[in-house]
């Protein structure tokens, strides 16, 4: 009976040489890969760090969006494709809470952008009347309350508010951004004015 390996088309020479090739080339390669174990460990550590950061952002988002109807957040995240923003936030060393606020701006844009003209009008009226019977308004109201408690930059909270208001008015992204910048400048000028008035009051006797 012909050798099974030969019957399958392998020569006896090749079969005889196979173990030698494995011993000659396979083992050293295995040792070389284990020699770079520190690189493998670094890779595993980086992946664990990435997952931990993403989970932390997801946890913050879950709290920010828990006022919206059930199932809204997973659907929004799938449509928005926010993973790139999260990766960038981690790469730049952005605080998890700040990153979650940036993602919240993006997702809020998706929420309002998907509304019909009538739904936008209804949501606008709900904001004006503080009408919690509107589920989307209720979600945004809770989001704003949570954002105030996240201990992030007031500028981020302000931008979230400006984004929602601008989207409801049908403003372009450039117009929304410019509106936010003007508001920030106005706020700074207002604070400087208050400081100047306080300083003037303290030194009134010196100047008169």
The whole-model pTM stands at 0.66
pLDDT single digits (tens) 103-149: 999 899 889 988 999 999 999 999 999 998 999 999 999 999 999 99
CB atoms within 10 A of CB 126: 19
pLDDT single digits (tens) 37-89: 667 677 677 777 788 898 999 999 999 999 998 767 777 776 666 678 888 88
- Pair 139, 68: CB distance under 8 Å: yes
User: Which conformational region is residue 8 in: left (phi greater than 0), alpha (psi within -120 to 50 degrees), or beta?
Assistant: alpha
- Give the whole-angstrom CA distance, residue 25 versus residue 2: 29
Q: How confident is the model at residue 28 (pLDDT cuts 50, 70, 90)?
A: very low
């Amino acid at each position: 009976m012909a050798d099974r390996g030969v019957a399958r088309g392998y020569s006896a020479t090749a079969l005889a040489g196979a173990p030698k090739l494995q011993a000659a080339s396979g083992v050293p390669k295995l040792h070389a890969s284990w020699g770079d174990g520190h690189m493998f460990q670094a890779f595993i550590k980086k992946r664990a760090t990435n997952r931990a950061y993403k989970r932390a952002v997801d946890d913050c988002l879950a709290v920010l969006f828990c006022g919206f109807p059930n199932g809204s957040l997973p659907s929004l995240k799938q449509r928005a494709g926010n993973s790139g923003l999260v990766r960038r936030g981690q790469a730049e060393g952005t605080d998890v809470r700040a990153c979650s606020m940036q993602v919240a701006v993006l997702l809020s844009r998706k929420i309002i952008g998907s509304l019909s003209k009538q739904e936008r009008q209804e949501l606008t009226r709900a904001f004006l009347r503080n009408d919690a019977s509107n589920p989307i308004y209720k979600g945004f109201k809770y989001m704003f309350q949570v954002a105030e408690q996240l201990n992030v930059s007031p500028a981020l909270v302000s931008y979230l508010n400006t984004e929602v208001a601008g989207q409801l008015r049908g403003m372009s992204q450039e117009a929304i951004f410019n509106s936010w910048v003007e508001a920030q400048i106005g706020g700074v000028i207002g604070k400087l004015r208050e400081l100047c008035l306080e300083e003037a009051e303290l030194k009134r006797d010196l100047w008169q």
